[in-house]
Chain A
Amino acid sequence: MTHAQTDTASADQPVTVGAGREKLDLWICWWVLPVFYTFFGLIFVLLAHVMPPPSPELSVSQILAFFHAHGTTIKVGFALLMGVIGLGSISNGLVAYQMKRMSVRPVFAYGYIATLAVGAIPGCLFCAIFFLVAVFRPDRNPHLIALSYDTALLTFVGSLGCFLANYCVFTLAVLLDKNRVFPRWLGYMGVWQIITELLAAPVFIFKKGPFAWNGAIAFYEGTVIFVVFLTCLILQVRKAIGNQPADELVPD
Chain B
Amino acid sequence: MLQDVAPSPATARAGRLLGDLNVWIFVLGDLVFFGAYFVIFMVYRHQETAVFLASQRHLSLIAGALNTMVLLTSSRFVALAVQAARRGESERARRLISYGGLFGVAFVAIKAFEWAHEIGHGFTLVRNDFFMFYFMLTGVHLFHVLLGLVILVVANRELRSPERCRSWIVESGAAYWHMVDLLWVVIFALLYLVR
Q: Do chains A and B interact in one complex?
A: yes
Chain A interface (Cβ < 8 Å from any Cβ of B): 7-8, 10-11, 179-185, 188-189, 191-192, 195, 198-199, 202, 205-206, 209-211, 216-217, 221, 225, 239-240, 243
> B2 touching A240 by the CB < 8 A rule?
yes
> B143 touching A195 by the CB < 8 A rule?
yes
Instruction: Report the bound CA distance from A191 to B129 in whole Å.
Output: 26
> A192 touching B29 by the CB < 8 A rule?
yes
Instruction: Report the bound CA distance from A28 to B133 in whole Å.
Output: 46
Q: Is B12 an interface residue (CB 8 A)?
A: no
Chain A contacts of B5 at CB under 8 A?
183
A102 CB to nearest chain B CB (Å): 11
Q: A198's contact among B25, B125, B140, by CB below 8 Å, is which?
A: B140
Chain B interface residue count, Cβ-Cβ cutoff 8 angstroms: 27
Instruction: Report the bound CA distance from A4 to B130 in whole Å.
Output: 52
Chain B interface (Cβ < 8 Å from any Cβ of A): 1-2, 4-5, 20-23, 25-26, 29-30, 33, 36-37, 40, 44, 125-126, 129, 132-133, 136, 139-140, 143, 147
> B36 touching A184 by the CB < 8 A rule?
no
Q: A209's contact among B22, B44, B139, by CB below 8 Å, is which?
A: B44
Chain B contacts of A195 at CB under 8 A?
33, 140, 143
Chain A contacts of B30 at CB under 8 A?
192
> B2 touching A206 by the CB < 8 A rule?
no
Nearest residue (CB) in A for B30 is A192
B121 CB to nearest chain A CB (Å): 20
